[in-house]
Amino acid sequence: MTGMPEYDSWRQVAGYFDGDGTVYFSDTSNRPYKLSISLVFVDQSSYQIGGVKKFLNAHGVPTSNILKRSDGEAHELAVSQFKAVKKALRRMLPYLCKKEIEVRAALDYYEGRVTGNQLVEVFTAEVEAGRRERKTRTVRLDVPYTRPDGDRLMKSLRRDRLRDTFGRYRARLSPRDFKAIRTGYFDQGKRICDLTREYPRYARETIRRVLGRGRGYVGVKGIGRVDTTDITIRDPGAARTETGC
């Protein structure tokens, strides 16, 4: 089947999606704040669906690998990254027929014009109209926020949890100790075991975080939370083994 022509326009891809694609949504956070939307293309021919993948990737839309479905009868390809989904939806929308309503509703949700519950209502109406396949859900979705509002709420709650955890569990260093530990390691060649003995008030893992060698963050008085995996506080040329201690 190597003689099959390749996809060269969004009109062609939209036609394919109208027939063998679906807008899939789920609450991946297990919290009623926002929905995750994916675009799924399905075909029995891996060559056919490979043409879709090639076109999307060439036009700045990252996709999953082509996977064999669990029933073994077809292949599928997914677009799941937020920006990629929005781009594909916008580009296909002018050429859609069967799936125009649900694609327009998905864009309205992503752009803050409808809530998650209103999106679900549109998709339910499409099922009743016979334009969308009925899918059984074990848990009823209840997302009374637009995606931007839900995203802001989740980030705010995450910050609150981090602050709470930070206040209870993370060691707080003085700015002087933070700088001295890093100077001792990167500029003076001291080992982590040397610094642990020199600063017994801090745990070894805390010192590792100060040096960007451990995951997580530390608290520095007067500065606040410092992410130690951030490359801006690392010294890429100072990597060394920790043997000898």
Query: Token pair 């082509």 is at which residue?
Result: 66
Q: Are residues 71 and 98 in the same domain?
A: yes
Chosen domain end from 105, 121, 154: 154
Q: Are residues 14 and 53 in the same domain?
A: yes
User: Does position 113 have pLDDT exceeding 70, yes or no?
Assistant: yes
Return the CATH number at 68: 3.10.28.10
Cross-strand partners of 226? 218
Q: Are residues 136 and 180 in the same domain?
A: no
Q: How many helices (H) and strands (E) does the chain have?
A: 9, 7
Q: Are residues 24 and 124 in the same domain?
A: yes
CA angle, 148 as apex, 142 and 153 as ends, to 5°?
Answer: 70
Instruction: State residue 129's pLDDT score.
Output: 85
When divided into structural domains, the chain yields a total of 2
Dihedral sign of CA atoms 209, 212, 215, 221 in order: positive
Give the pTM.
Answer: 0.63
84 within domain boundaries? yes
Chosen domain end from 104, 125, 154: 154
Residue 119 domain boundaries: 10-154
- Tens digit of pLDDT for each residue in 188-200? 999 999 999 999 8
243 within domain boundaries? no
Q: What percent of the chain has pLDDT above 90?
A: 45
